[in-house]
Structure 1
């Protein structure tokens, strides 16, 4: 698949700058920051169907809506991704990840909260086989998600953006794993250049 080439007789499309802004504005629901969303991110939204949750988070970053229930945005700490920023956005497919984070399931030892929750359900309902499975599911899944939400700790995928002259420029979407280690971080930086540098060259000075 990676070696496929574009047929020489394939049709091509081109847009003027004004047409591109208009297209982005229409798909991004007339958001006033549409011109600061890269065409690469715009295409990513079209392909993933994540437009609404991503715009909800960008609206919060722009101060157009109250702060969302995801984690606070933060800057990357190390080159090549520094000084770019990342903000989480949440969709239903991120639910299991958040439950795992709440109960520290994927991080080895230290699941004291999960152990306490299981023991509490066992003490209260362990004698009733018709009740305890539902009670356990409610405690781990429903209450676990509510606790993450109320603490504004929901995690998901990333919106990567840059700050320039008092405004945010939204570059692309990424998964956490794309920034793990120097090799992946370098590949992610190339992805950001490909999606954004043509429109926002001032964000990529070198």
Structure 2
């Protein structure tokens, strides 16, 4: 398996050979939104067609907004299958962010049209899935399937937060996407939190939801 700086399909090929399964039965899974103060956590599961992989796929954190947006539709069009899972802020508060992340990942994988034979998970802890899993630390920079999932999750979440900007004006959700910036803190001090805020996290403890 390659340790190159750009993701490739070597992890998928390795595990397909190891398990004697088709590469087209392996999905990549990643999330966006574990760290923000507001908004949902979003996960994506993607099964790529090894013969039709859009050029330029990489770790979503290393790509510009324009590049992620440019790759989003080609991934949808050329992937064998993809699904999105979303867990909202109130449930994150109720069950904690790790459990919420795993729930969003499970939603995405279970919703795939055909059950995968293996799920490649970004990180070191796997959700409870109805298929075998393989965790890959830094997987969004190593596996094309995980990288594609990272792009779908990130673009989906960014679009959700951009829409939230008009529903909850004044917080700057369209700019910071719910992350903890100085402008976000200033807005919280002025307006108090809204329904999108995660009241269980340390920066927001002591606040009460105002609208």
> TM-score, with normalisation over the residues of structure 2?
0.24
Q: Which has the higher helix share?
A: 1
Larger gyration radius, structure 1 or structure 2: 1
Greater relative contact order (Cα < 8 A, sep 6+): 2
